[in-house]
Copies of this chain bind each other. A is one copy, B any other.
Amino acid sequence: MKKIIHTVFILLISIQMVNAQRAPRLSSPDVDKNNNVTFRYFAPNAKEVLLSTEIVAEQIAMKKDEQGVWTTTIKKVTPDIYPYSFKVDGIEVADPNNTYVFANERFKRSIVDVPGNKPLAHSLRDVPHGKVTYRYYDSKTLETTRRVLVYTPPGFNMQDKTKKYPVLYLIHGGSDTEETWTKVGKANLIADNLIADGKATPMLIVMPYGNVRPGPMPDFTKDVMNDIIPFIESNYPVYTDTENRAVAGFSVGGGQTLNIGLTNTDKFSYIFSYAPYTATREFAQNFTNWNPDAEKINEQLKLFTISIGKDDFLYESVKGNLAMFKEKKIDVEPIFVSGGHTWMNCKLYLTQSLQRVFK
């Protein structure tokens, strides 16, 4: 974060290597001690530059100075991490001076970190840090080699077969990637902090790539059950019993979580679905005319929650999901919070789940 905040300092090198088309290095975004955030974008010939953020609902018209730098400041921002982008004469652009890009397949937005003056759930604190490891696994289901990110907690010892860990499988949103939960959701730092504070059980967090293109998307459920879980359980010292396996996910990943978890309650004791998107063929196949053995499922599941923000565009849809599960007599705990379909909420949902899983 420091390096982004401080890019105002122009290095000799960056001047000398500038090519004609390249804009000057600007300090953007700038976050001051009072959480005022200033955004800057160089576009001398643009007619209009709007700032689009998840800090405020409306887009903000930026003002141009004599040097062609468009600027605006949002005052007293609540500390968190927010996506934003510039709309330059209608064209969405990530902030060229900000290294911190939202990991996503559909859009290229930047991220601004407003740290505030006391540590947040996701802050980089002076505590023991786990590791995030990029691995490849062979998916027989999808007939390709796919990437998976694995968080291992502080003190994890790959070779010590006597010390085993539980595993949370954590799935991103529809157009996100396997990196979104660490790069935007800060899952590794949230886990580091909760483990350091004694609020979470040391665990592995496995973050797969949840999209299957070309489809069919339901094959991801098979990929998780037949390829990813066996890969993890054969390569890491982890518990392989149901009570030490959990699945969670956001949006499309929240829907995948319901598909994966509820059709495999003999494999998962914990299901955490965050703002699930369920208007999918797989969900319809699984839960239309669903006739579950509720008593057995409720006995198998130690905790099943569905989290949703009151301003989430899926709020009504999720209330429908909750009603359906209740009607089927499935014990599901609704977690209603404020906020929308955002990664600010994702961090909150994960922080809540990590304090209740594997206990």
Specify the chain B residue showing the minimal Cβ separation from A251.
B17
Contact A108 B94 (CB under 8 A): yes
Please give the number of chain A residues whose Cβ is less than 8 angstroms from any Cβ of chain B in the complex.
Answer: 67
Chain A, range 41-96, C-beta contacts under 8 Å to B: 43, 45-46, 87-94, 96
Give per-residue flags for A274-295: 1 if the beta carbon is below 8 A from chain B beta carbons, else 0: 0001011100000000000000
Known: A124-B136, A131-B134, A131-B135. A213 touches B9 (CB 8 A): yes
Per DSSP, are chain A's interface residues mostly helix, strand or loop, or mixed? loop
User: How many monomers of this protein are in the complex?
Assistant: 2
Separation of A3 and B87 alpha carbons in the complex (Å): 27
Specify the chain B residue showing the minimal Cβ separation from A110.
B108
What are 20 A-B interface contacts by the 8 Å CB criterion?
Answer: A2-B213, A9-B214, A12-B280, A16-B279, A43-B91, A45-B90, A91-B93, A92-B96, A93-B108, A94-B94, A97-B105, A99-B177, A101-B101, A101-B108, A108-B108, A131-B133, A132-B133, A157-B158, A157-B159, A158-B158
**A174 in the interface (beta carbon within 8 A):** yes
**A310 in the interface (beta carbon within 8 A):** no
Separation of A105 and B110 alpha carbons in the complex (Å): 12
Give per-residue flags for A118-152: 1 if the beta carbon is below 8 A from chain B beta carbons, else 0: 00000010100101111110100000110000000
Contact A214 B129 (CB under 8 A): no
Besides the known contacts A2-B144, A13-B280, A99-B104, 11 further A-B residue pairs in the complex with CB atoms under 8 A apart: A3-B213, A6-B213, A11-B213, A25-B106, A89-B91, A92-B93, A93-B93, A93-B108, A129-B136, A134-B134, A134-B188
Q: Which 7 A-B pairs have the closest CB atoms?
A: A9-B214, A132-B134, A99-B105, A159-B159, A133-B133, A129-B136, A6-B213
